[in-house]
Amino acid sequence: MATRVNPTRMELTRTKKRLATAIKGHKLLKDKQDEMARQFMAYIKRNRELRLEVEELLATAMQNTAIAEAEMGESALTEALLVPTASNEASWGTKNIMSVIVPDISAKSDEKVATIPYSTAFTSRYLDRATLDVQKLMPKLLELASVEKTCDMLADELERTRRRVNALEYVMIAEMKANIKYITMKLEDNERGNLTRLMKVKDMMKEE
């Protein structure tokens, strides 16, 4: 629906320029929306893969720990894990995805230390398996946290972009097109009115 505008040629020219700018902006936003949707789906897929891997590793580690505790006893298990010799550090950063600043978290493992942080002479092989599973688990947990937060942030930005695209397409651009049509019709009506008056004046002059 056209808003009340002044039906002049100057207003028509100004509205056409605004329409051209709005159409360009709409195309850029639509391209951004499409690319962001593609990135979002890729992160959703990675999030699903990581979650399955984490759940599998966690279940296996818990199962192996339970078997090791049954073989060694709780006190021996606690003593074996009392003084850890391995460590994991997180690397914190950010990255830019379609103008959205998202977290980038990864694990930095100390490769100089032994993979088993205790003497294996008096421990169960199931404890060894559980320890190795947990070492594999920690980097994946950090990545999963980073990916899940990225998915949340991309989903929010995708929704905001979708609203802006729809506002441009169905409100601003539609309104400007209606205004151009209204002004054009008014100008044509004025031209026809002026032409009719001129013809009447010409006929009156001929009669005289």
Measure the CA–CA gap between 87 and 26, rounded to whole angstroms: 50
- CA 82 to centroid of chain Cα atoms: 43
Q: Which residues does residue 95 pair with via DSSP β-bridges, in sequence order?
A: 102
Distances (CA, A) of 74 to 71, 78, 79, 116: 9, 6, 9, 19
List alpha helices for 73-103, DSSP H. 74-80
Q: Which residues does residue 107 pair with via DSSP β-bridges, in sequence order?
A: 90
With beta carbons less than 8 A apart as the criterion, state whether 19 and 174 touch: no
Measure the CA–CA gap between 61 and 126, rounded to whole angstroms: 9
Confidence grade of residue 83 (pLDDT, cut at 50, 70, 90)? low
Distances (CA, A) of 120 to 15, 18, 45, 71, 116: 80, 75, 39, 14, 8
Structure-block tokens of residue 99: 């103008």
Residue pLDDT, tens place only, 6-26 = 888 899 999 999 999 999 999
Residue pLDDT, tens place only, 136-183 = 888 899 999 999 999 999 999 999 999 999 999 999 999 999 999 999
| Residue with tokens 């993979």, as numbered in its chain | 115
Q: Does the pLDDT of residue 1 top 60, yes or no?
A: no
Residue 84: the pLDDT is 62
Domain residues of the chain, as ranges?
A: 9-200
Q: Which CATH architecture has domain 9-200?
A: Orthogonal Bundle (1.10)
